[in-house]
Amino acid sequence: MHQRLPEVEFSNARSPHSSPGPVRVLVVDDDPITVSLLTAVAGDEGYKVVSVCDGREAYRVLKSDANFKVALFDSRMRNLEGLEIVRYMKTEKRLMKIPVVVVTDERGTKQMVDSFAAGATVFLQKPFTTEQLQRTLRVALLSREVQQNRQN
C-alpha cells in the first residue's frame, strides 16, 4: 500500500495576481526518483508540494482536497493512470480549473494527443531539463490565470 508523502513547503511562492499563500502543486508519479526530481524543482521555485506515489492515492487526495494551483501526473502508473485522473478532474466542477501537466517517457504524438483530449493543459516529455520543467509550471499557472480572467 502506498502512503501519502508529507507536504513540503519551501517558501511562500505566489503566482502573479493570486490569492495570498503559497502555490500548492500536486505531484503524482509511481517512480520515486521522478517524484523527488519534480518535488525538488517545484520546491526550488517556491511551490508547496504534495506528492503521492500512484493514481489511486492521487484520486483520494483530490476527493478531499481541491486546493491545488497545478497538478503534475505521470501518464502511466499502477492502479490508476494519469489520464484517467485528468478525465475525472474534468467532470468535477471543483477540480476542473486545476491545470494539469502530463509527464511521460512515451514517444510519438499519440500520447500527446490523448493527453490533450483527456483535458491536460501542458504535456512534458521525459527526459526534461530543470528549465523545461520550470517553464512548464509557469505556463500551467498562467493558463489558470487566463481562464480565471475570462470568467470574470
- What is the number of other CB atoms lying within 10 angstroms of the CB of residue 105? 14
Average predicted confidence (pLDDT) for the chain: 84
pTM of the model: 0.82
Q: Domain for residue 89, yes or no?
A: yes
- Cα–Cα distance measured from residue 134 to residue 141, given in angstroms and rounded to the nearest whole number: 11
C-alpha cell belonging to residue 145: 490565470
DSSP 79-125: SS-HHHHHHHHTT-TTTTTS-EEEEE---SHHHHHHHHHHT-SEEEE
Q: Domain for residue 1, yes or no?
A: no
* Residue 9: strand, helix, or coil: strand
- Cα–Cα distance measured from residue 9 to residue 20, given in angstroms and rounded to the nearest whole number: 15
pLDDT in tens, 113-140: 999 999 999 999 999 999 999 999 999 9
Per the structure, the count of domains in the chain is 1
89 touches 102 (CB < 8 A): no
Amino acid letter for position 49 = V
Residue 15, phi then psi, degrees to nearest 5: -85, 155
Identify the sign of the CA torsion 95, 79, 109, 126. Answer: positive
Q: Domain for residue 110, yes or no?
A: yes
pLDDT at 80: 83
Residue 77 pLDDT level (bands cut at 50, 70, 90): confident
pLDDT in tens, 95-105: 999 999 999 98
Residue 76 pLDDT level (bands cut at 50, 70, 90): confident
69 touches 144 (CB < 8 A): yes
Domain that holds residue 12: 8-146
Q: Domain for residue 66, yes or no?
A: yes
CATH code (residue 59): 3.40.50.2300
- CA 145 to chain centroid, in Å, comes to 16
